[in-house]
Structure 1
Amino acid sequence: MLKNSDLEQLKEKGISPESINKQIKRFKNGFPTIKATRPATLNDGIIAFPTADINHYKSIYHGEVQKQLMPMKFVPASGAATRMFKDLFQFLDSDQNAEDLSADHPVRRFLVELPRFAFFSEVEKYTKNFNLNDTAERISHAKEIIHKILTREGLGYGFLPKGLIPFHRYPKDLHTPLAEHLYEAAAYAIDLNGIARVHFTISPEHYDFFKKQLENDRLKVENETQTKFEVTFSFQKPYTDTIAVTLNNEPFRDENGHLVFRPGGHGSLIENLNDCNADILFIKNIDNVVPTYSLDLIITYKQALAGLALKIRNNVFAFLNQLDTNVNDNLIDKVRKFIAENFHTDIPEPVKSQSVEAQAAYLHQFLNRPIRVCGMVKNVGDPGGGPFWVEDNNGQQSLQIVEGSQFDLNDPHQKKLFNNGTHFNPVDLVCIPKNYKGEKFDLTQYIDPETGFISQKSVYGKTIKALERPGLWNGAMAHWLTLFVEVPVETFNPVKTVNDLLKPVHQTKQ
């Protein structure tokens, strides 16, 4: 199926022919669905953070920082803001007039509320022929105004990355998500020397834009927060791209006969995370930010989650050192009690009858893995991806973050389990990526390759099938030591559509 020119193309991207053959086989056979046994709920997989414990865990985190702990904030920020402006793009491409839209139509609401957006003053610079303070004029000239907002003939927001769109208006300036993440990092991801390390994963074509915005923001944030920033960027690795195929599962080619590849999904970012050098990693999406005056609750819970992660880390490291040197029945009992209380599991039945040394070897392997503590918020709308108990082929249950696409929703029982989920994943993670000897784990060794999904996309006007690798929060971290903790829904404030910026939390005080 592969030509010599294909092999050259694969070599350039760092992809082996064997990998392509596996991907095509995956297109043909699909991914197995997961077997969920029940949703993770409070006190059954999800820990409640009693108010009295919050300060205790924060103090653990602060104490470890005093011991030269090196934190880093990891922010997935790839992709353009096209989805954020989806409704506006569709309106531009339609024959609709804004006057004919209903009052609750997202485009009509955008136009009516335009002065409330942080970027209103920027829009005015490109639409001086119109009186933008007049609602009727904004509606009558809707397409001209939206055209100036989205296209390169004006602000070009439809082609910028979401991280560079002004989200919040302050008395003297505008803040993009990039800036807000710097302010946030200065509040909790700072080391003993006053350095905050922040890593953004971005698309190569956006690098110059991010670099320019960082130059604009860095000095101001450093002066205001008395923090020095080490900001780094990375791109999704070319070898994590996946091949596109036709509906008949044959390689899809462009007009020049070249193979067409697509990004392998956010699960591919496990490679970027693996390259980061830190003792503790805070992971949060680019669009989940708030104005600086609303940070207190978020800071509190980030530090508390970190404290819990470090408490678990310290216990795990202590047990691993003991298992290296002093194996006995008493130690085995203590470790079994620890994993039962914290990870809700035990030694498998066949191992229980084996020698103390064999049990110790199992427990050592079980504990010597990366650790993640994941914040979970209560469902407030339709059910979505979230925390579930999942059973593997050996009957072993574990806590996993599961997307809807991983369920067999044609199975009434599985569909009911999915709909009964009480919490969802806001991408609020604290990770421990080093082992008890201070060495970095190879995070790529803890992926479940049997997770992922296949979708249909349009390329050059033709329908193709695309393959997405295991998601970063689910399949790519499937074999980590995992704890789920309930956090307030107020800590989750994503901007998925432009009108989300009209929510009170994003409307800054003037």
Structure 2
Amino acid sequence: MFSKQDQSQFKAKAIDIKTIEEQLNNFTTGFPKMKLKKPATIDDGILQISEDEQEIYHEVFTAHVKSLSLLKFVPASGAATRMFKSLYDFLNTYQDTEDEYLKFLCTKGPETMYNFFERIDDFAFYGDLRNVVSENNMDLEKMIDKNQFKQILAMLLTRKGLNYASLPKGLLKFHRYKHFSRTAFEEHLVETLNYAKNSKGDAQIHLTVSEDHKTLFEDRLEKTKDTFEEKYEGKLNVTYSVQKSSTDTIAVDMNNEPFRNEDGTILFRPGGHGALIANLNELNADIVFIKNIDNVVPDRLKEITYRFKKVLAGILLERQSFIFDYLKVLEEDKDIAQETLNEMLAFLEEKLCTKAPASLKIDDPEKLKKYLFSKFNRPIRVCGMVKNEGEPGGGPFWSRNSDGSVSLQIVEGSQIDKQDVRQTNILERSTHFNPVDLVCGIKDFKGNKFDLHTFVDKQTGFISQKSHNGNDLKAMELPGLWNGAMSDWNSVFVEVPIVTFNPVKTVFDLLRIEHRNL
């Protein structure tokens, strides 16, 4: 089926033929839908932490932080193209006529071009835009008065000016302060220095970036690193990685045959954010904080984010201490009292929200010990969940696993069978969603790193229809980073305040009060 040229291509990408064959089979058979049992809600899968409990878990983290290695992991490879889609549409379609101008004036609202130009000086990038316009011997204020909308957008979005649409989202100016503005990347650096700093003052942050953008991040860091380290009394250790070529997935035509380019080579596409489990797997830390690049706020709102990151980490440490103690007993003691085994099973079900399968014989000590060891000896994540107020994002559910157990999972809408009335009913009853606010433990009870690849559910990928050079094709995304890629982790879901979730999906989000440094 595959030529020598194909095999050379696979070798160059470090993908073995068995993986290719598995992917082709997935295109033919499709991926099974998740089997939802019920939504995770407050006191039924989602913890609601009182102020007193917050203090306790905050203290747990503070007491242990001196002996821990900490790391912040930020997926930051995405370009800002989608963020400016409506601006690009306007740039490409607006005609400088009286009718078009009247239509522009009459179409008002939060996410309209009228509002964009009406409030353009509220954006943190306004000063940079004004400067680059001036360098081209023009005056931005006069251009606005003359309704030169397309020229202004060209200066913002294209190489004629700031080239914002081609930059990574992390390097866009998000927030304006009195004497300066900060990019999303810089806001993450500030966060890292405030909750992911060890006893020596070292703060580690790792970003996954595009190869084309890595130098841009390094240049930006060079300009601000000393200022942040002096202000927040710490030392930044910033590292980067790119999505591995070996995680790309094969594309197929509509007959599920490998899609070939004009030169005969097979087309591969990036495997989605689930591919980043390979990047995470190469990192080494006791606690890893995970957060998306666009979910940041100005300084006036950061304190609650700092607090809840530490609270989530405290919950992880508390759960992990019990897990490690149980694993030592299970490994070392040959004769464990049934009462102790029952206590472990209760902890697994009540604190780690994993319900044993009906087939498990709990009165068979050896089988119960083996089951408990396998369930405890896994990576652990504590995930912040916010109340669903209409924002897109995966939701928390109780889900059935292949071994018959039931556990907490973060599930995307595409993983749910919308033709099944019972499943859609469970979906409609969900109350929270995942803002990608995770604190993770990736080491075992002996201090060794887990191989995170062994905890991925390969049956949770996703197939979508795309096109290439005008030809239809099918593309495959790997199990999502916080979905199927962490399917076999121990999971704890905790409600966090909505103010900790402020993503910037479109340029208009930057006008929201949460992103204004008022």
Equivalent pair of 2:79/2:167 in contact (CA under 8 Å)? yes
Equivalent pair of 1:456/1:464 in contact (CA under 8 Å)? yes
Whether 1:137 and 2:145 are equivalent positions in the alignment is yes
Q: How do residues 90-239 of structure 1 correspond to structure 2 at under 5 angstroms?
A: 90-97=89-96, 99=101, 100-101=103-104, 102-104=107-109, 106-128=112-134, 130-133=138-141, 137=145, 140-239=147-246
Whether 1:503 and 2:509 are equivalent positions in the alignment is no
1:47–1:135 distance in 2 versus 1, CA, 3 Å: farther
Equivalent pair of 2:24/2:256 in contact (CA under 8 Å)? yes
**Which range moved further: 326-335 or 361-370?**
326-335
Q: Following TM superposition, by how much is the alpha carbon of 1:376 offset from its aligned partner in structure 2, in angstroms?
A: 0.2
SS in 2 for 1:282: strand
Q: Counterparts of 2:432 and 2:3 in 1: how far apart (Å)?
A: 48
What amino acid sits opposite 2:433 in the alignment? Answer: F
Q: Following TM superposition, by how much is the alpha carbon of 1:253 offset from its aligned partner in structure 2, in angstroms?
A: 1.9
Task: For structure 1, list consecutive stretches of 5 or more residues without a partner in the other structure.
Answer: none
Note the alpha carbon deviations across 1:186-225, whole angstroms, 9 max, x for none. Answer: 1100100000000000111111111111111211111111
What amino acid sits opposite 1:417 in the alignment? Answer: I
Whether 1:404 and 2:431 are equivalent positions in the alignment is no
What amino acid sits opposite 1:72 in the alignment? Answer: L
SS in 1 for 2:208: strand
Q: Counterparts of 1:27 and 1:77 in 2: how far apart (Å)?
A: 29
1:227–1:438 distance in 2 versus 1, CA, 3 Å: same
Q: Counterparts of 2:490 and 2:166 in 1: how far apart (Å)?
A: 39
SS in 1 for 2:315: helix
Q: Following TM superposition, by how much is the alpha carbon of 1:325 offset from its aligned partner in structure 2, in angstroms?
A: 2.2
Note the alpha carbon deviations across 1:224-259, whole angstroms, 9 max, x for none. Answer: 111101110001111000011112212112222221
1:386 maps to which residue?
A: 395
Q: Counterparts of 2:375 and 2:280 in 1: how far apart (Å)?
A: 22
Q: How do residues 55-70 of structure 1 correspond to structure 2 at under 5 angstroms?
A: 55-66=55-66, 68-70=67-69
**Which range moved further: 329-338 or 423-432?**
329-338
Q: Counterparts of 2:116 and 2:469 in 1: how far apart (Å)?
A: 31
SS in 1 for 2:199: coil
SS in 1 for 2:141: coil
Q: Following TM superposition, by how much is the alpha carbon of 1:394 offset from its aligned partner in structure 2, in angstroms?
A: 4.3
2:294 maps to which residue?
A: 287
Q: Following TM superposition, by how much is the alpha carbon of 1:340 offset from its aligned partner in structure 2, in angstroms?
A: 2.3
2:442 maps to which residue?
A: 433
1:42 maps to which residue?
A: 42
Note the alpha carbon deviations across 1:62-98, whole angstroms, 9 max, x for none. Answer: 11112x2011000000121001111111122224456
Q: Counterparts of 1:316 and 1:48 in 2: how far apart (Å)?
A: 22
Whether 1:364 and 2:363 are equivalent positions in the alignment is no
1:83 maps to which residue?
A: 82
**Which range moved further: 197-206 or 342-351?**
342-351
SS in 1 for 2:266: coil
Equivalent pair of 1:274/1:442 in contact (CA under 8 Å)? yes
Note the alpha carbon deviations across 1:94-123, whole angstroms, 9 max, x for none. Answer: 244562231225322212211000000111
Q: Counterparts of 2:406 and 2:355 in 1: how far apart (Å)?
A: 10
Q: How do residues 478-497 of structure 1 correspond to structure 2 at under 5 angstroms?
A: 478-497=487-506
Q: Counterparts of 1:353 and 1:276 in 2: how far apart (Å)?
A: 37
Q: Counterparts of 2:93 and 2:113 in 1: how far apart (Å)?
A: 12
1:9 maps to which residue?
A: 9
Q: How do residues 225-304 of structure 1 correspond to structure 2 at under 5 angstroms?
A: 225-304=232-311
Q: Counterparts of 1:356 and 1:207 in 2: how far apart (Å)?
A: 53
Equivalent pair of 1:72/1:196 in contact (CA under 8 Å)? yes
> What's the Cα RMSD here?
1.6
**Which range moved further: 422-431 or 293-302?**
293-302
Q: Counterparts of 1:347 and 1:249 in 2: how far apart (Å)?
A: 39
Q: Counterparts of 2:188 and 2:115 in 1: how far apart (Å)?
A: 28
1:465–1:350 distance in 2 versus 1, CA, 3 Å: closer
Q: Following TM superposition, by how much is the alpha carbon of 1:351 offset from its aligned partner in structure 2, in angstroms?
A: 3.3
Q: Counterparts of 2:223 and 2:441 in 1: how far apart (Å)?
A: 32
SS in 1 for 2:460: coil
Query: How many positions carry a matched residue from both structures?
Result: 507
What amino acid sits opposite 2:245 in the alignment? Answer: P
**Which range moved further: 330-339 or 495-504?**
330-339
SS in 2 for 1:444: helix
Q: Following TM superposition, by how much is the alpha carbon of 1:349 offset from its aligned partner in structure 2, in angstroms?
A: 4.1
Q: Counterparts of 1:438 and 1:315 in 2: how far apart (Å)?
A: 15
Note the alpha carbon deviations across 1:364-406, whole angstroms, 9 max, x for none. Answer: 1110100000000000016742101111344321110000000
Q: Following TM superposition, by how much is the alpha carbon of 1:353 offset from its aligned partner in structure 2, in angstroms?
A: 5.1
Equivalent pair of 1:202/1:235 in contact (CA under 8 Å)? yes
What amino acid sits opposite 1:306 in the alignment? Answer: A
Note the alpha carbon deviations across 1:478-507, whole angstroms, 9 max, x for none. Answer: 000001000010100100001100011111
Q: Counterparts of 1:136 and 1:164 in 2: how far apart (Å)?
A: 25
**Which range moved further: 161-170 or 124-133?**
124-133
Q: Counterparts of 1:302 and 1:373 in 2: how far apart (Å)?
A: 10
Equivalent pair of 2:353/2:491 in contact (CA under 8 Å)? no
Q: Counterparts of 2:64 and 2:129 in 1: how far apart (Å)?
A: 46
Under a length normalisation based on structure 1, what TM-score does the superposition of the two structures give?
Answer: 0.96
Equivalent pair of 1:111/1:135 in contact (CA under 8 Å)? no
What amino acid sits opposite 1:289 in the alignment? Answer: V
**Which range moved further: 173-182 or 453-462?**
453-462
Q: Following TM superposition, by how much is the alpha carbon of 1:150 offset from its aligned partner in structure 2, in angstroms?
A: 0.7
Q: Counterparts of 1:409 and 1:183 in 2: how far apart (Å)?
A: 42
Q: Counterparts of 1:491 and 1:366 in 2: how far apart (Å)?
A: 31
What amino acid sits opposite 2:141 in the alignment? Answer: N
SS in 1 for 2:166: coil
Percentage identity across paired residues of the two chains? 46
1:54 maps to which residue?
A: 54
Q: Counterparts of 1:266 and 1:383 in 2: how far apart (Å)?
A: 16
SS in 1 for 2:408: strand
1:96–1:393 distance in 2 versus 1, CA, 3 Å: farther
**Which range moved further: 338-347 or 117-126?**
338-347
Note the alpha carbon deviations across 1:412-459, whole angstroms, 9 max, x for none. Answer: 221222122100000000000000000000011000000011112222
